[in-house]
Amino acid sequence: MPSSSIRGKRLLGFVVLFFLLVGVGFAIYSGYHLRKMTREWYQPLPVKEQTPQRIEAVLPTDQPVQPKFAAPAIPIPAVPIPKPGPLKPFTLLLIGTDSRDGERARSDTMILAAVHPKKQRAYLLSIPRDSFMNLPSKGYDKVNHAMAFGGTALVRKSLENFFDLKIDRYMAIDFEGFRKIIDELGGVEVNVKKRMKYTDPTDDTYINLSPGIQTLNGKQALDYARYRRSDIGPDDGDFERILRQQELIRALAQKGNTAQAFFKAFKLMDILGKHVKTDLTETELASLLFTYYDSRQNELEMETLKGTDGRIWRHGTLGWYYFIPPKERERIRSRFAEELAR
């Protein structure tokens, strides 16, 4: 399976998407709504599974907030908010979860990020859901099964052991929140490159997209991100799906930088508060917001973990898995060390 690498000054994937969507309202009005939202979504992992790491600001300051961009003439409550300096470099696990009635959540989207706030840069590694690795206490299996077996804590521990790399923080958004954000923003424009049709009444999956440039609503965008099996042709692999997910990340990031996002900032914060979970603290989130608010200064690199597809017998079934060679694991360890270097 080939990799995809995208370089440029863009918003930093899911991370900056979240901060950007809430950032305008926070900077223009006050910290009240950000504090409310972050308290709703703050959810540290169980102590026995955590790898605590302080990622405090490098250059803290007690100066009040001074927005660096022009804004509409809106009354600003007199709530002084200290402007934090950039955080130290850290690793962040980003998860998109699929939860259905009667089932435990599945991590259908996994991105491991090296975030370097002082450089306003992030390196994002998409991890195929079928990646074959040892899940602690569960044995070898697909990495996306870790979510069902032990939640986010087991996903993080599995990836830490596989790459021999400490993961400092996590952020998860469920698919319902993803859909609601897109609907609130009026949809996202993408170029659907082929006919996509797949029906599975057992889990209420009804995907029906036609090719061409179009604006997708929340359900259609979620279908576009999840599509893999087909009723009318060959199935897609995980690589094709990851490319579509990365395309949606960039499209959403562009939407987040619009006037529409500004005027709907509080509604977006309400959605995020209900559908995002993270162990990033309120102070850390505020620091990332102030560091990355200017998309022109941010730098992003994205790629996909390299490996090969293969079939083996597991749990009495001959199934497809994605195998990552030792050299690729070592390359990723070295790459993260480089990205996190100060």
pLDDT tens for the chain, 342 residues: list them.
444 444 433 334 444 444 444 444 344 444 566 676 677 788 888 765 444 455 655 444 333 433 333 334 334 343 444 556 688 999 999 998 776 544 556 667 899 999 999 998 989 999 999 999 999 999 999 998 999 899 999 999 999 999 999 999 999 888 888 889 889 888 989 999 999 998 888 777 889 999 999 999 999 998 998 888 787 877 777 778 888 887 887 777 676 656 566 666 677 777 877 888 899 888 888 788 777 766 667 788 889 999 999 999 988 889 989 999 999 999 999 999 999 997
- What distances in angstroms separate CA 95 from CA 16, 125, 146, 299, one per listed residue? 14, 12, 12, 21
Q: Which residues contact 86 (CB under 8 A, 6 or more apart)?
A: 57, 58, 59, 117, 118, 287, 291
pTM assigned to the model: 0.76
Alpha-carbon gap, residue 151 to 99, rounded angstroms: 12
pLDDT in tens, 91-150: 999 998 776 544 556 667 899 999 999 998 989 999 999 999 999 999 999 998 999 899
DSSP class of 88 = P
Instruction: Find the distance separating the first CA and the last CA of the chain, reported in whole Å.
Output: 32
Domains plus CATH for the chain?
6-185+241-340 (3.30.420.590)
Interatomic CA distance for residues 100 and 215, integer angstroms: 26
15 within 8 A of 115, measured Cβ to Cβ: yes
In this prediction, residue 306 carries a pLDDT of 95
